[in-house]
Chain A
Amino acid sequence: MSEHIVPKKTYYIIFFALMAGTALTVAAAFVNLHNFNIVVALLIAGAKAFLVVMFFMHVKYSTKLTKLWVAVGFIWLFILLAVTMTDYLTRAWLTYKP
């Protein structure tokens, strides 16, 4: 289970990495990348979430089965978001106007 003892140092490193990520997000917001601003912001946020899940939530030190479960949870969220967005993307593709 999660009895694995993580050295305090690891937590500090992850904490500063998260803070750096936040600073980076703010900085990136001031650069005009047009459509890619949102992509950059989401990529940084995704990386931060990954660190939180792996280190703060101890998934890195858990069994393969736990890792599988965590992955499945995110894959299911991806299914919900991706398929729903597919709807919005292709809704207007009809060739005739009703």
Chain B
Amino acid sequence: MSLTATLPAANAAAQTNGEPLNYLNNGHGIRSWLLTKDHKRIAILYLISVSIFFVIGGIFALLVRINLLSPNGLFEPDTYNRIFTAHGIVMVFFFLVPAVPAILGNFLLPIMIGAKDMAFPKINLLSWYCYIIGAAFALTALVAGGVDTGWTFYTPYSTTYSNSNVLLTGIGIFIVGFSSILTGINFIVTVHTMRAPGMTWFRLPLFVWAHYATALVIMLGTPVLAITVALMALERIAHVGIFDPALGGDPVLFQHMFWFYSHPAVYIMVLPAMGVVSELIANMSRKRIFGYKIVAMSSLAIAVFGFLVWGHHLFVATQSVYLGIIFSFLSYVVAIPSAIKVFNWTATLFKGSISFDTPMLYGLGFIGLFLIGGMTGLFTAALGLDVHITDTYFVVAHFHYVMVGGSLMGFLGGMHLWWGKITGRMYPESWARAAMVIQFIGFNLTFFPQFLLGYLGMPRRYASYPPEFQVLHVLSTAGATILGIGLLITIIYFIWSLKKGQRAPANPWGAAGLEWHTSSPPPTENFLVAPVVTWEAYDFTQTEPKAQ
């Protein structure tokens, strides 16, 4: 009780000529941003650059859908290959992987544990520069004609046969990998060493647990991606026989190494979003997350077991059948911790004081869509059924339900919950609710028909298709258009709110967590009075309900 009263009061005392001093107005000019060591400003740098890539990736998504309006395709097949590859690479490496951790994680993790900054502020800034340099390589490759291998770079096509910009893109991905490694180091060390007095491990918000688990995956997985890309480059430049059978290599080895990173990368994309959803559900129903410890531990379980299932991408790639059986079984096992989270979020809602503000809509949207994404994951993990649906639109629909229905919903939900905290302005609530509903409808219309298409036998990455698939493809493109409009509305009102939005109070939602105990936007040092934590996570007796 006492802390809520004292901290904002102390922060208000720091007012300088009308506007309270905060991280946004503390220093002006381009240098104060590009050389900043403030984790909050670095988060803003990431927000701007990642958003640009989201728009680029989105434009390529629309081009893919436009091509598939007619059975013969609109673009040349080779052009189409480059379009879907650009969509995949931009969305995976430059949007989904950094979106939640590098923006929301960077901004919130130190504040949530009561720290002044990350453990290594300069390394944090270096991570953003790695992102930008990697992005510059990838963009150059894109402008120079793009890549036609698919985002998975399967060998020997990528190393021997493709005459597109494989190397340039590979270098970009190699460098951008280090941006996530550096962020991961910071998360781990910060959580270990920078927690405020009284902030014990089991008082950490679940957002922090999820980001800690994500950092583990980043640290243990990303180096393997770097090595894989480097070996691919070595074979392409120097013809060292590693993956190409003609040179004495083995193409399945590439798939083993690639998916050793890229399956856990799914958890790099979705675990932080799960952390966001825990905050959304708890704060919007004013209840401690049911089974807090189990939800925290399930994040760690996902981080560990997520590394033991990569072979489910190789069921039809001549992988040993015996190994396939084990990978299939383990893929079922890894669904358990995800299911635990879904059940516990649902149980949290029971008898909660539920609000249907936009963050909650995204939280509920996440649960519903991730449920479908997860359950169809079990279809693809089944050794026999997967033979039928491998490389079809069923898989495309499955991972978009996880990536868009999961990560994007979580990211947008988090952006709405903390928008006031980050910018000091509130977004327009009714516009936001409408946009969320439009996105939800558009999303399902885009991807549900793709389950049907895939089951009927429509292969992924094909520029043309038999005419009987056209109805479902047109539905999907219509859905993508609606989804695009919904996202555009969100982008527009977010930008609008920067100048015209209502000023955000310190705690607009009546939410629990240290970030609501400081002003919106927070001062550069996060807290004017160093917090001492004497309560458990999600203790809603600390806060008043949201004013109506």
Contacts and interface: CB of A to CB of B under 8 A. Distances in A.
Interface of A: 65, 72-73, 76, 79-80, 83-84, 86-91, 93-94
Interface stretch (B58-66, B317-325, B452-460, B534-542): B317-325
Chain B CB within 10 Å, residue with most, of A80, A86, A87, A91: A87
B220 interface: yes
Interface in B302-339: 307-308, 311, 318-323
B307 A90 contact: no
B307 A91 contact: no
Contacts of A84: 253, 256-257
15 contacts: A72-B220, A76-B220, A79-B307, A79-B308, A80-B257, A80-B260, A83-B256, A83-B311, A84-B253, A84-B257, A86-B323, A87-B320, A91-B318, A91-B319, A94-B321
Contacts of A79: 307-308
Interface in B203-254: 220, 224, 252-253
Interface in B392-422: none
Contacts of A88: 320
B128 to A, nearest CB: 25
B252 A73 contact: no
B192 interface: yes
Contacts of B252: 87
Mostly, the A contact residues are helix
A87 to B, nearest CB: 5
A90 B308 contact: no
A80 B224 contact: yes
Contacts of B319: 87, 91
B274 to A, nearest CB: 22
B311 A93 contact: no
A79 B308 CA distance: 8
Given A89-B320, A91-B318, A93-B320, 14 more contacts: A65-B192, A76-B307, A79-B307, A83-B323, A84-B256, A86-B320, A86-B323, A87-B252, A87-B311, A90-B322, A90-B323, A91-B320, A93-B321, A93-B322
Chain A CB within 10 Å, residue with most, of B220, B318, B321: B220
Nearest to B310: A83
Interface of B: 192, 220, 224, 252-253, 256-257, 260, 307-308, 311, 318-323
A27 B252 CA distance: 35
A98 B3 CA distance: 71
B242 to A, nearest CB: 13
B318 A73 contact: no
A86 B322 CA distance: 9
B257 A90 contact: no
Nearest to A93: B322
B225 to A, nearest CB: 12
A87 B321 CA distance: 9
Contacts of A89: 320
A73 to B, nearest CB: 7
A80 B224 CA distance: 9
A88 B260 CA distance: 16
Contacts of A65: 192
A55 to B, nearest CB: 23
A95 to B, nearest CB: 10
Nearest to B327: A83
Contacts of B307: 76, 79
A87 B311 CA distance: 10
Contacts of A80: 224, 256-257, 260
B9 to A, nearest CB: 38
Contacts of A94: 321
Nearest to B252: A87
A73 B220 contact: yes
Contacts of A83: 256, 308, 311, 323
Contacts of A93: 320-322
A80 B311 CA distance: 11
B320 A90 contact: yes
9 A-B pairs with least C-beta separation: A90-B320, A91-B320, A84-B256, A90-B322, A76-B220, A87-B320, A87-B323, A80-B260, A87-B319
B359 to A, nearest CB: 35
